[in-house]
């Protein structure tokens, strides 16, 4: 109708001053979470299936027959366990880093000009966190839109070269789960394991709370067909989607508003009551509970489990014997 659309921060490109401390708190908690998990994995073993995304936390892989990967018929749906890593607990959800989220959209031909960083870190940067390695444009004049068309965004500016401190591995190991393998965290002392586990669990809760609060104001897009996530007002145009019927879409993503679980997935695993006991059995799988992978690692390391996770972990259910399972209603 030719009527200019009024926009409020941060939809108009300006920062929301109330959320800047939240963004810094989330980034610091994210660093504590990665460092704590890297230390706890020296003590708590993690297993991953080489044929499917299943993850198990415990001394031995479970015996539950729910593998749907290649060759599962020959293996009778048993998992093929290998040693896991931090990426099996914290699923690496990455996003393109944009100097100006309201500037030029990423095209398929220009996708290699942009860095890929964790989506949580990119969300914090766009919410006000200043990282010299990943600069971001801070606007002083609001963006004006008429309908879905931008009528004023300011002049396009060239992206400055990122600041290099000479120690590129330090920031990578702090904010990226893949970088945690470069700078190996030393194994913690036995007396420090419960404290590290409790701090890691608290950091996990802080990150989840902060991401949900930031996403109420800052736009995050997720593909409805694959796990791609983009932090910004519009999704990118890189043709990288290989999910269901991607040929009909020319490889383009189907963007929609993201949820917290898509940006920061919990990655549920089977709950193990006795890590030193026998592996979980397929006949009793309906009596076992589940919990996010980070919560399970921290619980086995000595952290206190928050009350909101106890119902899903089913800690109040008595596990019967295999011959008694068929007699239970």
Q: With cut-offs at 50, 70 and 90, classify the pLDDT of residue 298.
A: very high
pLDDT score for 184:
64
pLDDT score for 232:
92
Q: Tell me the domain boundaries of the chain.
A: 17-328
Task: Give the 3-state secondary structure percentages of the chain, helix then strand then coil, rounded to 5.
Answer: 30, 15, 55
Choose between 315 and 34: higher pLDDT: 34
pLDDT score for 109:
94
Q: What is the mean pLDDT of residues 134-161?
A: 82
pLDDT over threshold 70, residue 93:
yes
Tell the residue number behind the tokens 């736009």, with chain if given.
Answer: 219
Q: Are strands 55-57 and 46-49 parallel, antiparallel or unpaired?
A: antiparallel
Encode pLDDT of 218-253 as tens digits.
999 999 999 999 999 989 999 999 998 899 999 999
- As a whole number of angstroms, the distance between CA 304 and CA 152 comes to 52
Cis peptide before 28 (omega within 30 of 0): no
Q: With cut-offs at 50, 70 and 90, classify the pLDDT of residue 267.
A: very high
User: What is the DSSP-derived secondary structure letter of residue 142?
Assistant: -
Q: With cut-offs at 50, 70 and 90, classify the pLDDT of residue 162.
A: low
Asked if residues 258 and 235 have their Cβ atoms less than 8 Å apart, the reply is no
pLDDT over threshold 50, residue 65:
yes
Share of the chain above pLDDT 90, in %: 64
Give the predicted TM-score (pTM) of the model.
Answer: 0.91
Where are the strands (E) in the chain, listed by range? 46-49, 55-57, 81-83, 94-96, 116-118, 144-146, 149-152, 220-223, 229-231, 255-257, 268-270, 290-292
């Amino acid at each position: 109708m030719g009527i200019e659309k009024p926009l409020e921060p941060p939809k108009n490109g300006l920062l929301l001053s109330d959320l800047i401390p939240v963004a810094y708190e989330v980034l610091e908690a994210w660093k504590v979470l990665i460092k704590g998990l890297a230390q706890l994995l020296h003590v708590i073993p993690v297993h991953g299936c080489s044929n499917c995304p299943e993850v198990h936390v415990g001394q031995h892989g479970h015996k539950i027959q729910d593998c749907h990967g290649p060759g599962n018929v020959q293996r009778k749906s048993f998992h093929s366990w290998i040693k896991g890593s931090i990426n099996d607990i914290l699923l690496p959800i990455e996003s393109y880093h944009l100097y100006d989220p309201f500037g030029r959209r990423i095209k398929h031909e220009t996708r290699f000009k942009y860095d890929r960083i964790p989506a949580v870190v990119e969300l914090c940067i766009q919410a006000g966190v200043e990282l010299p390695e990943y600069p971001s444009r801070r606007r002083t004049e609001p963006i004006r839109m008429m309908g879905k068309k931008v009528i004023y965004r300011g002049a396009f500016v060239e992206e400055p070269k990122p600041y290099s401190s000479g120690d590129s591995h330090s920031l990578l190991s702090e904010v990226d789960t893949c970088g945690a393998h470069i700078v190996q965290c030393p194994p913690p002392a036995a007396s420090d394991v419960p404290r590290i586990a409790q701090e890691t669990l608290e950091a996990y809760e802080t990150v989840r709370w902060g991401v949900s609060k930031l996403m109420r104001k800052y736009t995050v897009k997720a593909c409805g067909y694959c796990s791609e996530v983009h932090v910004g007002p519009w999704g990118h145009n890189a043709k990288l989607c290989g999910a269901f019927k991607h040929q009909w879409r020319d490889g383009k993503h189907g963007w929609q508003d993201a949820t917290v679980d898509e940006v920061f997935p919990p990655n549920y695993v089977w709950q193990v009551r006795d890590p030193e006991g026998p592996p979980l059995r397929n006949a009793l799988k309906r009596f076992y509970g589940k919990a996010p992978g980070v919560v399970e690692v921290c619980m086995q390391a000595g952290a206190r489990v928050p009350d909101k996770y106890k119902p899903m972990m089913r800690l109040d259910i008595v596990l019967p014997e295999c011959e008694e399972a068929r007699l239970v209603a």
